[in-house]
Structure 1
Amino acid sequence: MVRILEYLLIAGYIAVLLVVSHWIGQQAFSWMPAEATAEAQKVDDLFSFLVSIGAFIFLGLNSMMLYSVIFFRAPKEDYTEGHPSRGDVRLEILWTATPILLVLWIAFQGFNIYQQLNIIGLQQIVHLHTPLEPEPAYAAEISDVPKPAVETIEVFVKQWDWSFRYPNNVISNELHLPVNLSTRLNMHAKDVLHSFYVPEFRLQQYIVPGRNIDLVLTPIRTGKYHLKDSLFSGTYFSLLDANVYVESPEKYNQWLNQTATQEPASATNQAVVEYTQPPKTWFKTSWYTVAPAQPYVITGKGKVTNDT
C-alpha cells in the first residue's frame, strides 16, 4: 500500500512538473520580438518546445537533488559510504532511448522548418573521385525545386549599402513586402560575405558573393521593421541597415506605382557620410579601410549609377 502511494505521489509530481514546464514554454513566446512571418511561427513553436523540455529537466533534477538532501542526509559524524547502487536494465534503456528519440525529433523539426524556407542557391558541386585520379571522375549538381511565390524582389548588398529592385524595375533603398503573400527574395552580394537578418522574421541568411540566393518568406504582420547585416563586413558594417515595410497588397501596389513616377533622386549612404568626414582624433591612424561606393541614384525606371 505504501509503495502504491509513493507511485501516486511521483506520478502527481510529474504531472505538476509537466504543467509548470508547459507554462514556462508558453512564456517563451513573449521573450522574442513579434512574429512577422509565417516562418517565424514555426521557429517560435520549436523554441517554446525546447524551453519546456529544458524547464522540465532543470526543475526535475533540482527537485530530486533537494529531496535527497532533505530526506537522505547522513547523520552527523557518519562518514561511512552509502550502499553501492545496482544497475537496472529497464532504467538504462529508458534514459538512453529517451534522449536519443528527443534529439532525433528536434533535428527532424529543425530540418523540416529549413526545408519549408526553401533556400535556393546554396547547392554544391559533388565530386566523386578515386585517390589515383588527379581530377574528379564525376560531378553532379544538387537540384533545387523553387517554391512558388507571388512576387520576386531582387536584393543587392555591398559595402555598405542595401538596394532592392521590384518587378516593375523600381529600385529603392527600402524593402516593401505585401502581407499574407509569399515573396521571393533573390539576393546578391557584390563584394564580400553578407547576412540578411530581420529579427521579427526569424530569418538570418548568408549572402554569398557570386551566387544568387533565393529565400521565400510570407509576411503576416503589417508594420515597419529593421533589416541588418548580422555578419561583420568591414569598418561601417554597423551602418548597413534598411527599413522594411510590410503592408497590404493595395498599399504595396500604390507605393510601387507612385515610386515609378518619381524623379531620379540620390540615395542616402551613411557610410559615405562617415567616410568623408574629417578625422575626429588628434593623430591620424594608418588603419586601412575600404572606401564605400558613392550613393546610387534611385529612378522609377530601374536605372542606378553604381552598378546595382
Structure 2
Amino acid sequence: MSKFLEYLLIAGFIAVLLVVSHWIGQQAYAWMPIEATEEAQKVDALFSFLVSIGAFIILGLVGMMLFSILFFRAPANDYSEGHPSRGDIKLEILWTAAPTVLVLWLAFQGLNIYQQLNILGLQQIVHLLTPWESQPAYAVSAVSIDEPPKPAAETVDVFVKQWDWSFRYANNVISPELHLPVNFRTRLNLHAQDVLHSFYVPDFRLQQYVVPGRDIEIVVTPIRIGKYTLKDALFSGTYFALMDANVQVESLEQYHQWLAQAEQEPPTIQNQAIAEYNQPPKTLFKSGWYTIAPNQEVIARQRKVTNDT
C-alpha cells in the first residue's frame, strides 16, 4: 500500500470519527434533564463536548486496534519486536500538548459558568496552615466578596433546616415553594439554620452548599416555564428523603399575581417530615438512634420566626 493511499485512508477514518463523535455528543443533550436556565444550556454544551471528545478517543483506539489485528498480525513463530515509539519527539509533544490544552480550555469554560452564577459569601471556608507560613492560607471562591453583585430583577431569601425549605419574598411573604419569574435574573440568598445543606435543582444544573453561619448568594436566570423540584443533595438526617420543595417558573405577571395572593392568604402547608414522624414504627425493634423531631409549626406560623432570623 502506497504512502499516499495510507494517509488518505487515515484521513478518511478521522473524518468519519469526527462525524460520528459529534453525533454522539449531540445525543448527550437527551441524557440530561430539561434545560430550565441559561446556566443549564452552557453546562450541557460543555457536557456534550466532553462526550464527543470521549467518543472520538474510544472509537479511535478501538478502530486502531481492529486495524492492527486485521492487517498487521505477525506470522506464525514470529517473536520479533515491533518498531519502538520511544524517542519520537513529535509524538511526545503531541500527546503532552493536546491534553494540556484541552484541560486548560475545560477549566476556563467551567470558571466562566461559575462566574455567571455570581456566587458570593464563600471566603475562608478551608483553613490551611502551610509549613512555611505562620498564618493560615484560605481557600477562596472565584468571585471576590468585595465585588459588587450583579443586578437582579428579584431577590428571594432561601432558608433551609432539618427538614424543610422556606422562601421569603418581597413584603415578607413566606412560602414553602420557590417561585421564579421566567427570563429574569433572580438572586437567591441561601441561609442554613442548623447543619450543612445543599441547594440542588437538577433542571437548573445548579448545586450549591449552604453553610451555617454564612450568607451565600447565587444568581439564576430561568428560561423555561414549568414546575421543577428542589432537593437537598447532602444527607442531613432521618427525614432527608422528604426535603423536597416545588420550584415554579412562571411569567412575570403570574409571579406578581401569586405574590399578591400569597400576601393575603399565607400558605399553610405542613412539613412532610411531621406526618412521617407521627406514623407508628414499621419495624419490630426500635433502633434507639437519636433523631431531631420535626418542627410542628406550619409554614404560615413561621413568618415571625423567619423574619426574626
Report if TM-score (shorter chain) is over 0.5.
yes
Residues 297 and 18 of structure 1: CA distance in aligned 2, closer, same or farther (over 3 Å): closer
State yes or no: 1:208 paired with 2:238. Answer: no
Match of 2:198 among 182, 195, 198: 195
In 2: Cα distance, 1:97 partner to 1:133 partner: 34
Cα distance in 2 for residues equivalent to 1:129 and 1:2: 63
Contact 1:225-1:243 at 8 Å conserved across structures: yes
Q: Which residue of 1 aligns with 2:183?
A: 180
Specify the alignment match of 1:48 in structure 2: 48
Task: Give the match for residue 277 of structure 1.
Answer: 279
Counterpart of 2:77?
A: 77
Q: How much identity, in percent, do the aligned residues show? A: 73
Q: Please report the TM-score for the alignment, with normalisation by the length of structure 1.
A: 0.91
Instruction: Figure out how many residues of one structure are paired with residues of the other and give that number.
Output: 305
The residue number in structure 2 matching 1:66 is: 66
Opposite residue 118 of structure 1, the aligned amino acid is N
2:91 — aligned with what?
Answer: 91
Structure 1 segment 1-308 matched on structure 2, within 5 A: 2-85=2-85, 87-124=87-124, 143-262=146-265, 264=266, 266-298=268-300, 302-304=303-305
Q: Aligned partners of 1:282, 1:306: CA distance in 2, in Å?
A: 43
> Residues 266 and 295 of structure 1 are in contact (CA less than 8 Å); yes or no, is this contact kept in structure 2?
no
Which structure 1 segments of 5+ residues have no match? none
Contact 1:295–1:306 (Cα < 8 Å) also in 2: no
Distance 2:130 2:6 in 1: 64
Q: Please list every run of 5 or more consecutive structure 2 residues that lacks an aligned counterpart in the other structure.
A: none
- Contact 1:154–1:185 at 8 Å: present in 2 too? yes
Mean Cα deviation higher: 118-127 or 191-200:
118-127
| Preserved contact between residue 274 and residue 294 of structure 2 (Cα < 8 Å) | yes
CA RMSD of aligned residues (A): 2.8
**8 Å CA contact 1:174, 1:243 repeated in 2:** yes
Distance 2:85 2:276 in 1: 68
Q: Give deviations 1:149-184, integer Å, cap 9, x for gaps.
A: 000000000000100000121100011000000000
1:102 & 1:130 partners in 2: Cα distance? 31
Q: Indicate how the Cα distance of structure 1 residues 43 and 87 shifts in structure 2: closer, same or farther if over 3 A, else same.
A: same
TM-score by length of 2: 0.90
SS at match of 1:157: strand
How far has the Cα of 1:254 moved from its partner? Answer: 0.4
Contact 2:176–2:299 (CA under 8 A) maintained in structure 1: no
| TM superposition shift of 1:142 | 5.3
Given that 2:230 and 2:246 are in contact with CA atoms closer than 8 Å, whether structure 1 keeps it comes out as yes
SS at match of 2:5: helix
SS in 2 for 1:168: helix
